[in-house]
Amino acid sequence: MKALIIYDSAFGNTEKVAQAMGAALGCEVRRVTEMTPEQLTGLDALIVGSPTQKFQPLKPIKDFLKELPAGKLTGVRVAAFDTRVALADVNSAILNVFVKLFGYAAEPIGKRLTQKGGELAMPPEGFYVAGTKGPLKDGELERAAAWAGQIQQ
């Protein structure tokens, strides 16, 4: 199975998650800014991840997905993830409301991937950081590796 993981990362946490997934799948891991849509050829599986900032993926991820030609991911198993802060750690009623309204980055990434023809292999998933700059919460790299493994089934 030829798989690829594409990510972006502001502080390095999403990169660590992507690398843990790449190690689990034995596949390439690339930062989105190093990629062109033409490089997505001959793939069986594609995982895309971004930090959640202002309830959304980072712009380079959004732009890359938007610019993919229609049908580019036909026949490809796809999955989307983000990193995020746990609501319980922020303890803000306002933020609770906004998150209910606007959610996290993984959902819109997953939608874009399926819009471009991909077949969602598992539901979008979020991995937790302890603070804006990290670190990742305990056990998240292991959880990420196990989650990514589902794309092979």
Ligand X SMILES: Cc1cc2nc3c(=O)[nH]c(=O)nc-3n(C[C@H](O)[C@H](O)[C@H](O)COP(=O)(O)O)c2cc1C
Decide: is 10 part of the binding site for ligand X (CB under 6 A): yes
- Interface with ligand X (CB under 6 A), residue from 53, 60, 115, 143: 53
Q: Any idea what the Cα angle at residue 45 is, between residues 143 and 129, rounded to 5°? A: 30
Q: Does 14 bind ligand X (CB under 6 A)?
A: yes
- For ligand X, the closer of residues 10 and 120 by Cβ is 10
Encoding tokens for residue 30?
A: 């690339």
Buried b (16+ CB within 10 A) or exposed e, 126-151: bbbbeeeeeebbeebbebbbebbeeb
From 40-48, 52-60, 71-79, 114-122, span contacting ligand X (CB under 6 A): 52-60
Task: CB nearer to ligand X: give 14 or 110.
Answer: 14
**Distances in Å between the alpha carbon of 131 and those of 70, 119, 128?**
37, 33, 9
CB of 63 to ligand X, least distance (A): 17
Instruction: Provide the mask over 119-138, with x wherever binding to ligand X is found by CB under 6 A and - wherever it is not.
Output: ----------x--x-x----
The stretch among 33-41, 70-78, 81-89, 107-115 that binds ligand X (CB under 6 A) is 81-89
Does position 52 bind ligand X by CB under 6 A?
Answer: yes
* Residue 30 and residue 67 in contact, taking contact as beta carbons nearer than 8 Å: no
Measured CA to CA, the distance from residue 150 to residue 40 in angstroms comes to 20
At 128, list the tokens.
């937790």
Instruction: Give contact residues for ligand X (rule: CB under 6 A).
Output: 9-14, 51-55, 83-85, 129, 132, 134
